[in-house]
Amino acid sequence: KTIYLKDYTPAPYLAKQINLSFNLLPGKTIVTSEVKYAKNPAGVSNDLVLDGEEQNILSVTLNGQRFDSYSVADGQMTLVNPGDEFTLTIISEIDPAANTALEGLYQSQGNYCTQCEAEGFRRITYYQDRPDVLSIFTVRVEADAKAYPVLLSNGNLQDSGSLPDGRHYTVWHDPFPKPCYLFALVAGDLVRVADTFTTMSGRKVDLHIYVRAGDEKQCDHAMESLKKSMKWDEEVYGREYQLDLFNIVAVSDFNMGAMENTSLNIFNTALVLAHQETATDSDFMSVEGVIGHEYFHNWTGNRVTCRDWFQLSLKEGFTVFRDQEFSADLNSRAVQRIDDVNGLRRLQFPEDGSPLAHSVQPDQFIEISNFYTKTIYEKGSELIRMQHTLLGGETFRKATDLYFDRYDGHAVTCDDFVLCMADASGRDLSQFFRWYKQAGTPTVQVSSQYDAAQQSYTLTFKQSQPDTPEQTSKQPLHIPVAVGLLDDSGKEILPTRVLEVTAREQTFTFADLPGRPVPSILRGFSAPVKLETDLSDDDLRLLQVHDTDGFNKWEAGQTLALRTIQRVMEKPETDISQFVADVGTLVEQGLAVQGDKALLARALSLPLLGVIAQHQAVVDPAAIDEARTAILKQIKSTHKDALAALYDANRNTGEFSITPEAMGRRALQHAVLDILTVTNGTGCAARSKAHYDAADNMTDRVTALACLSDSSQPQRAEVFADFYARFKNYPLVVDKWFSLQAIANREQIFDDLAMLRNHADFNIKNPNRVRSLYSAFAINNPVKFHDPSGNGYAFLRDVIIELNTINPQIAARMVTPLREWKRYTPALQAHMKAALEAILATPNLSGDVFEIVSKSLNA
């Protein structure tokens, strides 16, 4: 069933207060919900319609009297005109142990936890499960004291005590009205890591992280990240935390990364636990970013929430922008931007060009779970970033102050957000709002002209928007393009200024230029567009060395690399010596000066296959990989000694640390090792093995394994076996062990995959483990996933069909790599289409999977 934004109407009833009581018993949980309802003056219906699924109703009471005149059908309970004000009590029974969908109340390794966003609350009790119904929650939890010593819910602890028969209870009260998707409950045998934070107004907040016994040594980084987040939100946005307690609970079975439930964030263990021996630098960065993300939701999501799920990006786009900026402030800004843009290009651009393309504020959906997408999150963040760029930092802050002031305690829309930006700046942002409504990645073409007689330089911009499903003839967008100019010696002669492109075609002229400048266009990737310029290779080489904008400096090198790869794909014998020599210059520079090593590491990495594919009309992954690898081999053979010297110069010395400098050094050494081991010969394997043997941290180990993964040398098996033996008791590390084998581009891969699927440690019910095998393969092993045999698609197809009944959300997500099937060669297309059709033909297909598969095929 499709739901439309245009059909929104306010809820018929307000929920003034809700008292929930959970009795956690063996084999079942009894939920009592007592809600004080009042007719909503803004409502348009008199019927109270409550959503409910997967539960048995034991009794319904209206104002204390047994009540039977309700009807239940299609997951909804309807009460016809129940009155202006009344109390409705519903007692129902649920079975958390049988809940493999991991939505609502479920069990993870014996402990109870919840996931209610977006529509999981209806699996707990009958309620108006929509984000614009805000209520004050009081929650009582009762359970066996020995098995579940920790009983948590949102807000402050109001009461607790022991009961007969070894049971105990707690009562929690959250004074801030909230939608039910922010409700959370945890009951389990967990240990607590405690700290405190003093807010800017001097209030002391208790910070607790709950994990399973044994994991408490891996919580320091998460705790530090939480304190940094709280401070950053005070400093950058003036936002203070208002409750006395902030809890984080880590669980192993979780569909997503984490969830921002008010004062009781629930996290995937993968985004809390981090220790040098078990977590990589990129894990440390993810923990910091996601701890920040969920904390920032306290204001952008919880205090100000969404009116309906079409507004999901209101909270997610803004919160991603906030976490990206948080990470940029704590680490290297340029590197953060490069990594974020790489992610956008690799994952969001393809989505925007696929049959599943949708706008940041969609008009319709079937299953909201399918809309937790790269478009809503990452493109949504780019939309906030553009508004920040257009307004400037100071005005943007005025606008967010206005936003929080105006809407605290309200459920609002993306339109309301942009209105605050417009009101605070006095600017007309109506054209800008098209970014929220038009799907697809725009293309911006720039041509330049220098007039020697006039000493003037003009840049002409042309923008175009592709058609996407149900959207044609799009309007031009309001695009901020940050531009700087360099002279032919590489000196910056015009610092960054933001050009506002609003027409289909528009010209900007720069006066008083004695010579033709080299333009640095779209600095910092100021808009999420595909840029096409008339810059020559020499212009790009100048920018690669001299641009003052770190992002564009890197971008110039990547564009040169892309051009080189494309030339090699067209004509394999093309002379690439200039490009290879330029890489040599970067290596020499890395040996001579101590610059930003993380940035150099990125400069030395060729664009990933997924990014290169964006530039191909018909995608042939094997052909791209062949060209890319050929170039890497030539870089290696030409600069072998210099590369080996750079590797040695960046060896691990002294104590392990996760400062940006230390991570940069490792990143650089790893980028070099990656090139040095590209030929997969005996020397390469020995090098990788030596790297592994010298490792005192997980980053170095994983790098060595990644460099050995494609190898057929004996060291491969030795190192993988050692790794497994060392870490078999650490599930998150076993995930890495699965992934590092799944990404192997080698002959036996399908035997490997079958072995991994049948491995004793594989568990179809654990999303992390499923992703570690299947997503790693389908996303990070493009050559073998797109194997001409079609075996890669069949492997994925089978797990989607298996997961369809176990965990529909995860099943639907697994379809992602198949949805762009039309972009591939005809032979690959046929296999991909067949896999999609087989999934569609599955009996009892869930709405989640049906939506993605049917939309993929219908385009």
Binding site for Zn ion (CB under 5 A): 316, 319
Total residues contacting ligand ARG by CB under 6 A comes to: 13
* DSSP classification of residue 455: T
Q: Report, in Å, the least distance between residue 365 CB and ligand ARG.
A: 12
Q: Report, in Å, the least distance between residue 335 CB and Zn ion.
A: 23
How many residues comprise the chain?
Answer: 859
Residue 33 as a binder of ligand ARG (CB under 6 A): the answer is no
Contact pick of 260, 283, 582, 820 for ligand ARG (by CB under 6 A): 260
Name the binder of 369 from Zn ion, ligand ARG, none, CB < 5-8 A by kind.
ligand ARG
Q: How far, in Å, are 55, 608, 638, 706, 779 from residue 674 at the CA level?
A: 53, 13, 15, 9, 19
Instruction: Give me 234's structure tokens.
Output: 């005070």
Near ligand ARG by CB under 6 A, which window of 42-50, 251-259, 552-560, 573-581?
Answer: 251-259
Instruction: For residues 251 and 768, give the distance between their C-alpha atoms in angstroms, rounded to a whole number.
Output: 11
Name the binder of 233 from Zn ion, ligand ARG, none, CB < 5-8 A by kind.
none
Q: How far, in Å, are 454, 741, 761, 814 from residue 755 at the CA level?
A: 70, 10, 11, 20
In this structure, the strands spanning 204-211 and 191-198 are antiparallel
Name the binder of 856 from Zn ion, ligand ARG, none, CB < 5-8 A by kind.
none
114 touches 183 (CB < 8 A)? yes
In this structure, the strands spanning 443-451 and 411-412 are unpaired
Q: 316 vs 851, which CB is nearer to Zn ion?
A: 316
Near ligand ARG by CB under 6 A, which window of 49-57, 211-219, 250-258, 467-475?
Answer: 250-258
Near ligand ARG by CB under 6 A, which window of 225-233, 255-263, 593-601, 795-803?
Answer: 255-263
Q: Report, in Å, the least distance between residue 179 CB and ligand ARG.
A: 12
Q: 377 vs 730, which CB is nearer to ligand ARG?
A: 377
Instruction: For residues 684 and 710, give the distance between their C-alpha atoms in angstroms, rounded to a whole number.
Output: 11
Q: In the bound complex, which residue of the shown chain has the CB atom lying closest to ligand ARG?
A: 372
Instruction: For residues 634 and 630, give the distance between their C-alpha atoms in angstroms, rounded to a whole number.
Output: 6
DSSP state letters, 523-571: GGG-SSSEEEE---HHHHHHHHHH-SSHHHHHHHHHHHHHHHHHHHHH-
Name the binder of 565 from Zn ion, ligand ARG, none, CB < 5-8 A by kind.
none
Name the binder of 372 from ligand ARG, Zn ion, none, CB < 5-8 A by kind.
ligand ARG
Q: Report, in Å, the least distance between residue 515 CB and Zn ion.
A: 49
Q: Report, in Å, the least distance between residue 302 CB and Zn ion.
A: 11
State the residue for tokens 């531009």.
483
Name the binder of 691 from ligand ARG, Zn ion, none, CB < 5-8 A by kind.
none
Instruction: For residues 384 and 237, give the distance between their C-alpha atoms in angstroms, rounded to a whole number.
Output: 14
Q: Report, in Å, the least distance between residue 436 CB and Zn ion.
A: 18
Q: 361 vs 369, which CB is nearer to ligand ARG?
A: 369
Which residue, among 708, 714, 650, has the nearest Cα to 674 in the 3D structure? 708
Q: How far, in Å, are 233, 414, 539, 546 from residue 485 at the CA level?
A: 35, 35, 11, 11
Q: 256 vs 811, which CB is nearer to ligand ARG?
A: 256
Q: Report, in Å, the least distance between residue 681 CB and Zn ion.
A: 45
Instruction: Give me 709's structure tokens.
Output: 């993964």
Contact pick of 259, 483, 540, 815 for ligand ARG (by CB under 6 A): 259
Q: 312 vs 531, which CB is nearer to ligand ARG?
A: 312
Contact pick of 258, 338, 356, 486 for ligand ARG (by CB under 6 A): 258
Q: 92 vs 319, which CB is nearer to Zn ion?
A: 319
Q: How far, in Å, are 279, 283, 291, 490, 814 from residue 286 at the CA level?
A: 10, 5, 8, 36, 21
Number of C-beta neighbours around residue 618 at 10 A: 13
Name the binder of 259 from Zn ion, ligand ARG, none, CB < 5-8 A by kind.
ligand ARG
* Phi, psi (degrees; rounded to nearest 5) at 553: -60, -50
Q: 319 vs 842, which CB is nearer to ligand ARG?
A: 319
Contacts of 145 (CB under 8 A, 6+ apart): 162, 166, 167, 168
Instruction: For residues 76 and 32, give the distance between their C-alpha atoms in angstroms, rounded to a whole number.
Output: 18
* DSSP classification of residue 803: H
Q: Report, in Å, the least distance between residue 772 CB and Zn ion.
A: 22
Q: 316 vs 325, which CB is nearer to Zn ion?
A: 316
Instruction: Give me 350's structure tokens.
Output: 């393809």
Where b means 16+ CB within 10 Å and e means fewer, 392-431 reads eeebbbbbbeebbeebeeebbbbebbbbbbbebbebebee
580 touches 638 (CB < 8 A)? yes
Per the annotation, the verdict on 294 as an active-site residue is yes
- Of residues 801 through 830, those in contact with ligand ARG by CB under 6 A are 809
806 touches 765 (CB < 8 A)? yes
- Of residues 353 through 372, those in contact with ligand ARG by CB under 6 A are 369, 372
Q: 293 vs 639, which CB is nearer to ligand ARG?
A: 293
Q: Report, in Å, the least distance between residue 846 CB and ligand ARG.
A: 14
Per-residue contact flags (x/-) with ligand ARG for residues 278 to 297, judged by CB under 6 A = ---------------xx---
Q: Report, in Å, the least distance between residue 293 CB and ligand ARG.
A: 6
Instruction: For residues 597 and 770, give the distance between their C-alpha atoms in angstroms, rounded to a whole number.
Output: 34
Name the binder of 258 from ligand ARG, Zn ion, none, CB < 5-8 A by kind.
ligand ARG
Instruction: Give me 642's structure tokens.
Output: 């210099």
Q: Which one of the listed residues 119, 294, 378, 382 is annotated catalytic?
A: 294
Q: 311 vs 697, which CB is nearer to ligand ARG?
A: 311
Whether omega for the bond prior to residue 118 falls within 30 degrees of 0, making it cis, is yes
Residue 570 CB-density burial (10 A; 0-12 exposed, 13-18 middle, 19+ buried): exposed
- Of residues 96 through 155, those in contact with ligand ARG by CB under 6 A are 117-118
Q: Report, in Å, the least distance between residue 404 CB and Zn ion.
A: 17
In this structure, the strands spanning 135-144 and 13-25 are parallel
Q: Report, in Å, the least distance between residue 319 CB and Zn ion.
A: 5
Q: 142 vs 260, which CB is nearer to ligand ARG?
A: 260
Q: 12 vs 179, which CB is nearer to ligand ARG?
A: 179
Name the binder of 436 from ligand ARG, Zn ion, none, CB < 5-8 A by kind.
none
Contact pick of 256, 272, 740, 845 for ligand ARG (by CB under 6 A): 256
State the residue for tokens 């439309």.
4
In what helix (H) or strand (E) does residue 206 lie, and over which residues does it extend? strand 204-211
Name the binder of 650 from ligand ARG, Zn ion, none, CB < 5-8 A by kind.
none
Contact pick of 316, 378, 674, 820 for ligand ARG (by CB under 6 A): 316
Near ligand ARG by CB under 6 A, which window of 92-100, 252-260, 466-474, 517-525?
Answer: 252-260
Name the residue type at position 142: E
Name the binder of 123 from ligand ARG, Zn ion, none, CB < 5-8 A by kind.
none
- Of residues 656 through 715, those in contact with ligand ARG by CB under 6 A are none
**Which residues lie near ligand ARG (CB under 6 A)?**
117-118, 255-256, 258-260, 293-294, 316, 369, 372, 809
Cite the active site residues: 294
